[in-house]
Structure 1
Amino acid sequence: MTTRHGERLRLAGLLAPPLIWLAAAYLGSLAVLFLSAFWTTDSFTTDVVRIWTTDNFQQVLTVPVYRTIALRTLSIAVAVTVVDALLALPMAYFMARVAPARLRGALVVAVLTPLWASYLVKAYAWRVMLGEHGLINALAAPLGLHGPGYGTTAVVLVLAYLWLPYMILPVYAALERLPEQHLEASADLGAGAWQTLRYVVLPAVRPAVLAGSVFTFSLSLGDYVAVQIVGGKTQMLGNVIASQVTLDLPMAAALSAVPVVLIVCYLTAVRRAGALDSL
């Protein structure tokens, strides 16, 4: 009993510093952010006035432009997640089940390599490619087509590219763990390729896809740099919040609560599907 008590004390001593840091720096800052959303701003000096009010939340819920931006941000985050899932599944399957074992490590490194480059470098590279005289228009011109230019489509493309590795890696890990006997049994029972994909592969990787979607969805929901670089006139919650910080901090805090609530709801939903166990 004494030994167990000592082990618990040592474990508590090891976990206490990071837990205290998490509570103070992360949860504490979120609490202060949420609290400041109930304050107001002096219209003349733009100073924060600590007077309790719910006007900021009422504006977020009732002003049409805020609802439109919130729905657009949510739609972009969902679109990025769907695009990444559709791209990650065949790529991860090739890496885990088709490529020779000696090449799999190199393919994983190739997937991770873009993460080592600067976010801004990659975003501005896409800005060059999506420009009027960029690579995409040059490739599309012989076909009589035109690139998407700057706008919502460009934001989805750039964010899907940026977050694709976060979707590929958990799906690759799930496919690598998929027993070969399951695929062989499906073939022995007369299932075709599509039936095996639907009834064997997809159920096995579903938690991994949801786990990857946690990253793609949340990162897209909070992004504000890519939309400034390739979004044109498109506005998302992130850049609206950034523009409000210096003008109306309480309103920025109220707007910040929207993605936080959406992410919490999404995490709650995917947790029930067992996605967090695949992270």
Structure 2
Amino acid sequence: MSAQAAEAAGFRRGLAAFLHRRPWVRLSLLLSAPLLWLGVAYLGALAALFVTAFWTTDTFTGELVRTFTWANFRDLLTGEVYRTITLRSVGVALAVTVIDLAIAFPVAFAMAKVASPRSRRWLVIAVLTPLWASYLVKAYAWRVMLSSGGLLGWGFGLTATVLTLAYLWLPYMILPIYAGLERLPDSLLEAAGDLGARAGRVFRTVVWPLAFPAVIAGSIFTFSLSLGDYIAVKIVGGKSQLIGNVVYDNIGAANNLPFAAAVATVPVVIMLVYLAAVRRTGALENL
């Protein structure tokens, strides 16, 4: 072995020994790339969005005016139409979440506690299958059903938006609840039954408290995805306007990127408030 090869081998052994004695260094090196991506691509994009919200657009040239101003947020807070759109968006997100929860909980319970292990695998595949189809294909399929002359022609508009979004995000509610219920010991249900508890009381005192963190996890998906969606509204919503549509229209037709950025901060703030509220319940710590 040459002196250069021996030196390289010694360096590798020394580095291996150093990393073996310091596991936190190994962990830091392992997480450095994803954390860098998170910091630059995700948090950096949010920071740029927030900064842009304090700029304006020259109405004559359409160029960005990089001067700090509260004008966009003042227009957003004082405009009655934007308050209405925000409340409508939150209402749609809540309606989608409630509908998905009402459908997902019995389905997830049947998958986790009633179905056989073999049937359970097929049911999981059935829940995942809609996720393999294109978002646009599913949205336009609902448009065909909900438009005039379709199977559900009465539902076109805001009702169609809620139904379409509830269908699109239903798997994101079923899977977390299924995972949470699967961890629920069967012995607890059997013990409650042996002690004479009726089905309703078993649900209130055993099943629901233990499944609640999983419900919160699913609601975070359905609520946030519905709150920021704009494509489904464009396809099936008719003249309905949600927050996502206001952002899209101001980026495209209006060419007002700063105001679009200001509007885009609204769902971010709403989600932060929502996460803070559910965190106080202790559900996030139990996920």
Partner of 1:142: none
Partner of 1:221: 227
The answer as to whether partners of 1:39 and 1:50 remain within 8 angstroms in 2 is yes
Q: TM-score under structure 1 normalisation?
A: 0.92
Letter in 2 for 1:270: V
Matched, 1:107 2:123: yes
Number of corresponding residues = 269
Counterparts of 1:39-188 in structure 2 under 5 Å?
A: 39-137=55-153, 147-148=154-155, 150-188=156-194
The CA deviation at 1:273 is 3.0
The CA deviation at 1:274 is 3.9
Partner of 1:203: 209
CA distance in 2, matches of 1:101, 1:120: 33
Alignment RMSD (CA, Å): 1.6
Partner of 1:10: 26
The CA deviation at 1:190 is 1.3
CA distance in 1, matches of 2:36, 2:90: 32
String of CA shifts for 1:62-84, please: whole Å, max 9, x gaps.
10001110110011011111111
Instruction: Find the structure with the greater CA-based Rg.
Output: 2
The answer as to whether partners of 1:174 and 1:208 remain within 8 angstroms in 2 is yes
The answer as to whether partners of 1:207 and 1:273 remain within 8 angstroms in 2 is no
The CA deviation at 1:278 is 6.2
String of CA shifts for 1:71-103, please: whole Å, max 9, x gaps.
100110111111111110111111111112210
Partner of 1:270: 278
CA distance in 2, matches of 1:118, 1:275: 32
After TM superposition, the structure 1 stretch with the greater mean CA deviation from structure 2, 101-110 or 2-11, is 2-11
Matched, 1:31 2:37: no
Q: TM-score under structure 2 normalisation?
A: 0.90
Partner of 2:10: none
CA distance in 2, matches of 1:3, 1:33: 39
CA distance in 2, matches of 1:276, 1:114: 27
Letter in 1 for 2:84: T
String of CA shifts for 1:187-206, please: whole Å, max 9, x gaps.
11211111111111111111
String of CA shifts for 1:128-172, please: whole Å, max 9, x gaps.
0111111235xxxxxxxxx32x21111110000000000001111
The answer as to whether partners of 1:170 and 1:278 remain within 8 angstroms in 2 is no
The answer as to whether partners of 2:19 and 2:25 remain within 8 angstroms in 1 is no
- Can you give the 5+ residue segments of structure 1 that lack an aligned partner in the other structure? 138-146
CA distance in 2, matches of 1:136, 1:53: 47
